[in-house]
Amino acid sequence: MIALPLVAVVAVVAALRATFERNTARKLPYVNVLNFAIAASIVLLRDHPLSLVAAAAYFVGSTLEANAIASTYAGARNQ
């Protein structure tokens, strides 16, 4: 099963890039990739039908959160 190690590598790279990136606008896509990796890990680690529902709920919630942060940052930057 190569999917889980691949997701883990992507998550670690995204976390490192988000940690060391100084520009907030360039940091947000890496945080979003990290959220995708967490949602994928939930599905890959748990062998249960409801794990897909949990991953979808996490994905929707984290996407809404990321969009709210990005729009707030863009609004504050334009003022």
Model confidence pLDDT, tens digit, residues 19-43: 999 988 888 889 889 988 988 898 8
- CA dihedral sign, ordered 30, 34, 37, 39: negative
Q: What pLDDT was estimated at residue 13?
A: 96
Angle, CA 44 vertex, CA 2 and CA 8 arms, to 5°: 55
79 half-sphere exposure, CB direction, 13 A CA radius: 6
pLDDT value at 74 more than 80: no
Angle, CA 7 vertex, CA 16 and CA 12 arms, to 5°: 15
Cα–Cα distances in angstroms (integers) from residue 70 to residues 42, 65, 77, in the given order: 25, 9, 10
Q: What pLDDT was estimated at residue 21?
A: 92
Lowest mean pLDDT among 13-27, 42-56, 62-76: 62-76
